[in-house]
Structure 1
Amino acid sequence: MDFTPTEEQAAARDLAARIFGDLSTHERLTAAGTGSDAELWKALCEAGLPAAVEDIGLIGLVLLLEEQGRTTAQVPFAASCVYGLLAVSAHGSEEQRERLLPAIGDGTVVVTGALPEAAVRVGGSGELSGVVPVVPWLRDATHVLVADEEHGLWLVRTVDARCDPVELTAPWSAGRLTLDATPGEPLGGSLGERQGGPEAAAAGQEAYDDVLATARTAFAGLQAGVCAGSVARAVDYTNTREQFGRPLATKQGVQLRAADAYMDTEAIRVTAYEAAWRRDEGLEYATHALTAAWWASEAGHRVVHAGQHLHGGMGADLDHPVHRHFLWGRQLDAYLGCGSEVLQELGALIVDGEGDA
């Protein structure tokens, strides 16, 4: 396997780095509060970055999300690309692809996902009912991807549902989704096709598994960026902060803590790259996605704590930029699932003989 970016992937990554670096500043993040940055989202869409994901693949998206994570940019980039562009591209009908992909690419349609927190019930005419307590970026979304009790995927317009604001650890513009006989659109076909027996059910399960594994991989990549940003801030601080006439970075304990955080960050990155590469190559990658999620959850928790600790008393300042990395790291830890839960699911796949080669 070769994780070297293609020319197109490298160009998209570099462009994303410039846009995030220029616009996702401490001052703008402070002004945004717990909401998203509409101007930054517009700039990303005008630059063609969400649309580019269809061509640069999941590993290209992971590269872009690393850049978002480094700056903790408050935009629904990960959600709309995973639950919208990649999901519709891979599993939508031809009509859905023609109608939705251009709009997702230019940002006029924003999709988020309610997987796998809860399943919704489907009525005989395709109406959906159920409650999802927390959906990230729901307040920014025009559509939300939900799963029914048999893991069939549905697109719901947020204007047809009840969406109540919810505040999370990280400022992800989240909401509570309530569906009450809400109309839904089956991803990939008509209601009749969705209710078409075992073959249709198997196709629905395959789509659900792919979208969930894609999400785990992408959000692990986002965590790699969050952790890289936290480590970079800690390195800068300990190199410039002096104690008894010497930089903190010269102390062995500080060096060891920073080195451990760096190695954890690299483990998150390489496992996310491997899972993304396997999906792009058409290989089985479910267990690789779970492995990336485990590293992102367990190691990510350690890294963002280390980033705060290495800032000493400054790390306790809620207004310090490193605190955002801490909040994002803990939110991603919770979103991906605690380490023991992920390991249990991974073990079950291996026992059932579904592990990838």
Structure 2
Amino acid sequence: MDFTPTEEQTDAHELAAAIFGDLATHERLAAVGTGSDMELWKALCAAGLVGAVEDVGLLGLVLLLEEQGRTTAQVPFAATCVYGLLAVTAHGSPQQRGRLLSGIRDGSVVVCGALPAVGGVRASERGELTGTVPLVPWLRDATHVLVPDERRRLWLVRAADAGCEPVESTAPWAAGRLTLDGVPGEPLGTPAAYDAAYDDVLATARTAFAGLQAGVCAGSLARAVAHTNTREQFGRPLAVKQGVQLRAADAYMDTEAIRVTAYEAAWRRDQGLPYATHALTAAWWASEAGLRVVHTGQHLHGGTGADLEHPVHRHFLWGRQLDAYLGCGSEALQELGELLVNGIEGTGEAGGGAAA
């Protein structure tokens, strides 16, 4: 394995860091409230960062999402890249790719995902979808929704055809309750590969959002380090206390564990190798370790961390949301154990080869 970024990945990463760093400021996020910053979204698309994921692959996307996580920038970047760009590129028909990809690249098409499948949506023989999904992140921003039915078939649905009731989630992800009442759906993938498409998209999402969690944790820890180095108690910085140093060191190691497992899963997909168990490993670290890190970040701020308006509190909310998104740690661990016991790796050649 070689996680050394390519020149294209490095360039995209540096550009993302600059845009997120310049525009996703504390003041701007406070002004946006619980909605999305669509001006920032336009800037990211105009810079070509969504389209760049076609060239930099899932590993490149993980690098970009780390920068989003560091700033907790409120844009549907992860969702559109995972459920839109990568899903359509890997599993869409030539007609779907020709119709959707250009709009995804320029930001006029925003895709969110109602994954994982929970059995709440049924599809008729004519492809009409009925059911509800209680919470879909970024649904309020979306033009299209990728919806799995009870048989794990993936359907693209126009958001305008569905019902959307705003729902506030732990993190400000412009979420909504999706209601489908005989809504026409467009199948993604071929009948012979429905399961493979679902497995690939879910594993891709778990890997990408683990990368996002690595950024959230890195941002939380950076704020905690800055605070403890400048905050004094009895004439000495808090950072010189051994207890503070140990908490920060544990948080750093947890963050690196999230990062390296996400890198490995992403690299394997880009290489066309099986990566289902690796994606679940990354998801487990993102859930279990991510929760520890954002709690540490808030705790090391002392009473300041209890301020709901303090920037570190956003990292706490994002970390808590990512802990449960796509399955909490215990669920990921159970699924991983079942795969290992059954000797099934899966999710490799079709998805990885198409996205590389």
* TM category, shorter: over 0.9
Give CA-to-partner distance per residue, 1:265-304, whole Å, 9 cap, x none. 0000000000000000000000000000000000000000
Question: In 2, are the aligned partners of 1:224 and 1:269 still within 8 Å (CA)?
Answer: yes
Classify the secondary structure of the residue corresponding to 1:104. helix
Counterpart position of 1:108: 108
Question: In 1, are the aligned partners of 2:115 and 2:326 still within 8 Å (CA)?
Answer: no
> Out of 240, 243, 254, which is 2:244 matched to?
254
The runs of 5 or more residues in structure 1 that have no matched partner are 195-199
Share of identical aligned residues, percent? 80
Structure with the larger RCO, 1 or 2 (CA within 8 Å, 6+ apart): 2
Question: Mapping of 1:318-357 within 5 angstroms?
Answer: 318-355=308-345
Please tell me the residue identity of whatever aligns with 1:148. Answer: D
Question: In 1, are the aligned partners of 2:189 and 2:197 still within 8 Å (CA)?
Answer: no
- How far apart are 1:117 and its partner, in Å? 4.5
Give structure 1 regions of 4+ aligned residues with deviation exceeding 2 angstroms: none
How big is the alpha-carbon RMSD for the aligned residues of Structure 1 and Structure 2?
1.0
Counterpart position of 2:351: none
* C-alpha distance in structure 1 between counterparts of 2:68 and 2:139, whole Å: 19
Counterpart position of 1:72: 72
* C-alpha distance in structure 1 between counterparts of 2:242 and 2:345, whole Å: 41
Please tell me the residue identity of whatever aligns with 2:259. Answer: R
Are 1:93 and 2:93 an aligned pair? yes
Question: In 1, are the aligned partners of 2:210 and 2:282 still within 8 Å (CA)?
Answer: yes
Give CA-to-partner distance per residue, 1:5-47, whole Å, 9 cap, x none. 0000000000000000000000110011000001000000000
Question: In 1, are the aligned partners of 2:66 and 2:215 still within 8 Å (CA)?
Answer: yes
* C-alpha distance in structure 1 between counterparts of 2:327 and 2:257, whole Å: 17
* C-alpha distance in structure 2 between counterparts of 1:83 and 1:61, whole Å: 13
Are 1:301 and 2:291 an aligned pair? yes
Counterpart position of 2:139: 138
Are 1:181 and 2:182 an aligned pair? yes
- How far apart are 1:58 and its partner, in Å? 0.1
> Out of 173, 196, 209, which is 2:199 matched to?
209
Counterpart position of 2:278: 288
Give CA-to-partner distance per residue, 1:76-129, whole Å, 9 cap, x none. 000000000000000000111111111101100000000115332111211110
Question: In 1, are the aligned partners of 2:144 and 2:157 still within 8 Å (CA)?
Answer: yes
* C-alpha distance in structure 2 between counterparts of 1:355 and 1:204, whole Å: 17
Please tell me the residue identity of whatever aligns with 1:48. Answer: G
* C-alpha distance in structure 2 between counterparts of 1:281 and 1:317, whole Å: 45
TM-score by length of 1: 0.96
Classify the secondary structure of the residue corresponding to 1:43. helix
Counterpart position of 2:124: 123
- How far apart are 1:337 and its partner, in Å? 2.1
- How far apart are 1:188 and its partner, in Å? 2.9
Give CA-to-partner distance per residue, 1:291-335, whole Å, 9 cap, x none. 000000000000000000000110100000000000000000010
Question: In 2, are the aligned partners of 1:271 and 1:288 still within 8 Å (CA)?
Answer: yes
Please tell me the residue identity of whatever aligns with 2:19. Answer: I
- How far apart are 1:338 and its partner, in Å? 2.0
Question: Mapping of 1:23-102 within 5 angstroms?
Answer: 23-102=23-102
Question: In 2, are the aligned partners of 1:268 and 1:295 still within 8 Å (CA)?
Answer: yes
Classify the secondary structure of the residue corresponding to 1:272. helix
Please tell me the residue identity of whatever aligns with 1:126. Answer: G
Name the count of aligned residue pairs. Answer: 346
* C-alpha distance in structure 2 between counterparts of 1:336 and 1:295, whole Å: 13
Out of 346-355 and 283-292, give the one that drifted further. Answer: 346-355
Counterpart position of 2:352: none
* C-alpha distance in structure 1 between counterparts of 2:306 and 2:280, whole Å: 32
Please tell me the residue identity of whatever aligns with 1:12. Answer: A
* C-alpha distance in structure 2 between counterparts of 1:52 and 1:338, whole Å: 30
- How far apart are 1:150 and its partner, in Å? 1.5
Counterpart position of 1:197: none
